[in-house]
Structure 1
């Protein structure tokens, strides 16, 4: 009716398939963070030193920092998506996707340069 304030949609349980898909996405982010963490530790412990002093440490820390960012943002992202689905709102956008893509690109370019120069 005209003049009545618009009420937010009621909190409702979304289709379980969407909830499980959101959970699988969260777990994929955690697996990616664990992979980056393992890669960072492996670089620091197993990769022979590059021609530049501290390059191995830098590469390892880049992987570990990216893992930390991803792990720290994965749960809030899961929660925001779950809340949006419960309220029947559009899913929120996440800048973490860009951060992850740029971070992996920087790690790859750094590793490539170090391998070529070594």
Structure 2
């Protein structure tokens, strides 16, 4: 019975200790803010609504410009990869074509030599 009691107490102590450590780490991670998040919170503290709306529109424009640039870079990267894959596929087709042509030529040579031997 004492082993079960010590196991249960150890389990609960570990759960409490893990919860405290996890809470501290979670708090530290959550308090680290991006500069963009800080900028987003600043217009909420201003009393002038028109300034807040203008700032929000500027942020949206910057965000959309950044997203457009990221999309363009990703698109170009994918196009380059597709071009590389197509070039590789063409090379493999040529190599296989050469292998198939050589094997067909060997088959024809063997069959013609066998037919000559049979005569």
TM (norm. structure 1) is 0.29
Kindly name which structure, 1 or 2, has the bigger radius of gyration based on alpha carbons: 2
TM (norm. structure 2) is 0.29
Higher relative contact order (CA 8 A, sep 6+): 1
